[in-house]
Amino acid sequence: KNAVEDSGEAERLFTRLRDATDSKSLLRKNLTNNIFAQLKGLKTKFGGTLLDCIRSGCENTDSGVGVYACDPDAYTTFAPLLDAVIRDYHKVSELKHPNPDFGDVDKLDFGNLDPSGEMIVSTRVRVGRSHDSYGFPPVLKKEERVEMEQKTVEALKKLDGELKGSYHPLTGMSKETQKQLTEDHFLFNDSDRFLRAAGGYNDWPTGRGIYFNDKKTFLVWVNEEDHLRFISMQMGGDLREVYTRLVKAIRALESSGLSFAKRDGLGYLTFCPSNLGTTLRASVHIKIPKLSQTPEFKAFCDKYNIQARGIHGEHTESVGGVYDISNKRRLGLTEIEAIQEMRRGVEAVIAEEKKLA
Ligand code: ADP
Ligand code: CIR
């Protein structure tokens, strides 16, 4: 498409966003007429445009965030929009981010958050990483996805001990295997309309795949929303084990020859501005049939900076009173602080559910 067609489409989508007066997205709140006028003609070093960043949020006006960075450079080129969205989402007044600090994993002051095993079904902690020389889905070419996949798999082959595993490309994987892995909460699919509109499923399934160890307690998603997602998970509530395993994996992969996109003030860069900084989301699947039915549930979560999702991921529903509860903020705090925020939130959720019993 040429520049004129692009600019016509940008104008049309912007009008659609402005007309959606019931939209609560951070995109609608922050993309003012002035900022739109200022940014609409700009291009990043990777050739990405404002349209690439806002298409998802304009087509899906029920978005929470509504904007994606077309590539790492978008955080500079489109900073007037993205900075405002980042401040709102992560609740920070200044864009500052500390150096990574995972804490001393030999001296953690928490273990199993639910020793009785009655409420927490499973625990998962993930981080995202981006190869620093590649763009994000809207500007990526098919060959680049394949190149990235190769580089990633080379690095994954070096993992050993508990992290040793195998890589399973999506191309050629049977539908039954995909379905089973997805139902068991291990694998991603192409069913998120927000990500689809952002270009997240371009050339699907080429270049995508999943790595896991025998026990499926350490997994890596390749070219899902982000270039890389490192995931540690297991049944039950032992946050200490899950987190410690993830920290080991991050350290191993950071010394395996891969180089990740990072920026002063923003930490590690990701496709969605809600994920940058620590990029860490620590979650439990937890049975809270009572608390989740109270009118105060959302306010309760906001008070502890935690977020509730359904059990098949973002924008899905709860099943049988089980919710995915995780830390909401990822920027402006360290990794260990994000974990502690989640831990305090989960402990408060457990105490409140017991009170209502
Ligand atoms: P993320 O961006 O962290 O990957 P999603 O909300 O898309 O988040 O969830 C991804 C997948 O991880 C989904 O299949 C979801 O069910 C699974 N998941 C998230 N948290 C847990 C947990 N604590 N236990 C088991 N599965 C989980
Ligand atoms: C939204 O705005 O609701 C979607 N674009 C998702 C936002 C945050 N989630 C994500 O990055 N997975």
pTM, 2 dp:
0.96
Q: What is the pLDDT of residues 202-221, one digit of tens each?
A: 999 999 999 999 999 999 99
Q: Which residue has its alpha carbon closest to ligand 2 atom 11?
A: 272
Amino acid residing at 106: D
d(CA 291, CA 349): 8
Buried b (16+ CB within 10 A) or exposed e, 79-94: eebbbbbbbebbebee
Task: Return the ∠ at Cα 310 (arms to 309 and 313), rounded to 5°.
Answer: 80
Could you tell me the distance, in angstroms and rounded to a whole number, from the CA of residue 25 to the centre of ligand 2?
10
Is the CB of 269 within 6 Å of ligand 2?
no
Is the CB of 311 within 6 Å of ligand 1?
yes
- Any alpha helices (H) in 60-104, and if so which ranges? 74-77, 79-90
| Phi, psi of 327, deg, nearest 5 | -65, 145
Could you tell me the distance, in angstroms and rounded to a whole number, from the CA of residue 313 to the centre of ligand 1?
5
CATH superfamily of 3-90: ATP:guanido phosphotransferase, N-terminal domain (1.10.135.10)
Is the CB of 307 within 6 Å of ligand 1?
no
Could you tell me the distance, in angstroms and rounded to a whole number, from the CA of residue 271 to the centre of ligand 1?
17
88: left (phi over 0), alpha (psi -120 to 50) or beta: alpha
Under DSSP, is residue 197 helix (H, G, I), strand (E, B) or coil?
A: helix
Q: For residue 126, give the ligand nearest its CA.
A: 1
- Taking every pair of Cα atoms in the chain, the longest distance, rounded to a whole number of angstroms, is 62
d(CA 243, CA 240): 5
Q: For residue 324, give the ligand nearest its CA.
A: 1
**Residue written as token pair 């020859």:** 257
Is the CB of 328 within 6 Å of ligand 1?
no
Is the CB of 100 within 6 Å of ligand 2?
no
What is the residue-wise DSSP string for 106-135? Answer: GG-S--BS-TT-SSEEEEEEEEEE-BTTS-
Q: Is the dihedral of CA 344, 347, 351, 357 positive or negative?
A: positive
Q: For residue 189, give the ligand nearest its CA.
A: 1
Q: What are the tokens at 255?
A: 């010394």
Q: What are the tokens at 340?
A: 């502690």
Contact between 227 and 148 under an 8 Å Cβ cutoff? The reply is yes
Is the CB of 326 within 6 Å of ligand 2?
no
Could you tell me the distance, in angstroms and rounded to a whole number, from the CA of residue 160 to the centre of ligand 2?
33
Q: For residue 231, give the ligand nearest its CA.
A: 1
CATH for the stretch 105-356: 3.30.590.10
Question: Counting every residue, how long is the chain?
Answer: 357
Nearest to 200, CA basis, from 247, 145, 124, 119? 145
Is the CB of 122 within 6 Å of ligand 1?
yes
Is the CB of 65 within 6 Å of ligand 2?
yes
d(CA 230, CA 227): 10
| Phi, psi of 168, deg, nearest 5 | -125, 100
From residue 314, give the alpha-carbon distance in Å to each of 63, 110, 193.
Answer: 11, 27, 11
DSSP conformational letter for 99: P
**Domains of the chain, residue spans:** 3-90, 105-356
Task: Return the ∠ at Cα 143 (arms to 139 and 146), rounded to 5°.
Answer: 105
Q: Along the 357 residues of the chain, how does pLDDT read in single tens digits?
A: 677 777 889 999 999 999 999 999 999 999 999 999 999 999 999 999 999 999 999 999 999 999 999 999 999 999 999 999 999 999 999 999 999 999 999 999 999 999 999 999 999 999 999 999 999 999 999 999 999 999 999 999 999 999 999 999 999 999 999 999 999 999 999 999 999 999 999 999 999 999 999 999 999 999 999 999 999 999 999 999 999 999 999 999 999 989 999 999 999 999 999 999 999 999 999 999 999 999 999 999 999 999 999 999 888 888 999 999 999 999 999 999 999 999 999 999 999 999 998
Is this complex scored with an ipTM above 0.95? yes
State how beta strands 120-129 and 322-327 pair: unpaired
- Any alpha helices (H) in the chain, and if so which ranges? 3-19, 26-30, 33-39, 50-59, 74-77, 79-90, 142-156, 175-183, 193-197, 239-254, 297-303, 335-356
- How many other C-beta atoms lie within 10 A of the C-beta of residue 256? 14
Could you tell me the distance, in angstroms and rounded to a whole number, from the CA of residue 11 to the centre of ligand 1?
35
